[in-house]
Structure 1
Amino acid sequence: MPDELDPIDEQIIETLSRDARATNAALADQLGVAPSTAHARTRSLVERGVLTGFHAAVDQTALGRGLQAIIGVTLRPGQRQENIRGFAQEISRHPDVIQLFFLGGVDDFLVHIAVDTSSSVRRFVVDQLSARPSVASTRTSLIFEYHRNAVAADFS
């Protein structure tokens, strides 16, 4: 558990979660502290592992990938440890994959993809998922809207 967060730490986290490009001067002004204090506090949050990165939100539509889907994947029983590792390593490197979640529950994984057409979703499911001997089943849901409240760090 990281050291306790005080109200200034919480404001820094909230501000940078909304706008990772906020300047140190703007951050200090918003917090009502000296720029050196804002800088030191932000650096401390990074060193303590509370802030793990600064991210850019990418408009997938502007990249020609306006169709997004979440695909639930269930793996076959047997050799699960190897199948879990192999699946995660290979699928997470695929260029259509935005996020990959390893789960406990009905699905073993949720795969978040962005592509150009519904045919591309079908191709991804058939060629990249269903064709794998380790995959027992898939369930595909198209994403109509996406709202992000925060960017989560990788689990260790």
Structure 2
Amino acid sequence: MTKTQSGQVTLDATDRAILAVVVRDAEITNKALAGRLGLAESTCAHRLRQLRERGVITGSHVDLDHAALGYPLQAVVSVRMGSHSEQLVEEFFDAITATSQVLQVFHLAGSSDFLVHVAVADAAELRDIVLRHITVHRGVRQTETHLVFEQRTGPGTVSNR
């Protein structure tokens, strides 16, 4: 693994193989990782440490079954701002990312300024999030709510190049 002048990290096939496994299973033990890839445990441990030190791996996460927690309905709320001042955008971004039941927030270029991914108990709770937490911000001009029927995760960027 090396860094280019632009600061981008160049990964070799071993780094990419390690990332492909840990992206799918962040809790895999070093021994299991080494066994799956046919590498020495010390090689895997060293490579993982390097990937963390270089900022390629920035953390790990747990996937939750929101339906099992009482939030079976997911939606993506598209938000258009009436004003794009830095202050209004930052205020909205900070407030919405601190809102309960918000899973992800994307700040975008294009016809929508934000996409807000939420998990809620029912349609009434979805309405309340939109009315009490999104449209109340002074910069918000319009919202459009899209129900999520199904979500799948793609391979990401590990397999590229």
Same fold (TM over 0.5): yes
What value does the CA root-mean-square deviation take over the aligned residues? 1.5
Matched, 1:53 2:65: no
Look up the match of 2:94. Answer: 89
Q: Which amino acid counterpart does residue 51 of structure 1 have in structure 2? A: I
Higher helix share: 1
**For 1:109 and 1:151, how far apart are their aligned partners in 2?**
22
Shift of 1:132: 2.2
Look up the match of 1:43. Answer: 49
Look up the match of 1:11. Answer: 17
1:1-156 correspondence runs (5 A): 1-77=7-83, 80-149=85-154
**For 1:130 and 1:91, how far apart are their aligned partners in 2?**
11
**For 2:144 and 2:52, how far apart are their aligned partners in 1?**
38
Q: Which amino acid counterpart does residue 106 of structure 1 have in structure 2? A: S
Q: Which amino acid counterpart does residue 70 of structure 1 have in structure 2? A: V
**For 2:124 and 2:65, how far apart are their aligned partners in 1?**
21
Q: Which amino acid counterpart does residue 98 of structure 1 have in structure 2? A: L
Aligned to 2:116, what secondary structure does the other structure show? strand
Residues 77/2 of structure 1: CA separation in 2 closer, same or farther (3 Å cut): closer
Residues 31/115 of structure 1: CA separation in 2 closer, same or farther (3 Å cut): same
Q: Which amino acid counterpart does residue 144 of structure 1 have in structure 2? A: F
Number of residue pairs aligned between Structure 1 and Structure 2: 151
Residues 98/150 of structure 1: CA separation in 2 closer, same or farther (3 Å cut): farther
Q: Deviations over 1:106-126 (max 9, x none)?
A: 111000000000111111111
CA contact (8 A) 1:60 1:114 kept: yes
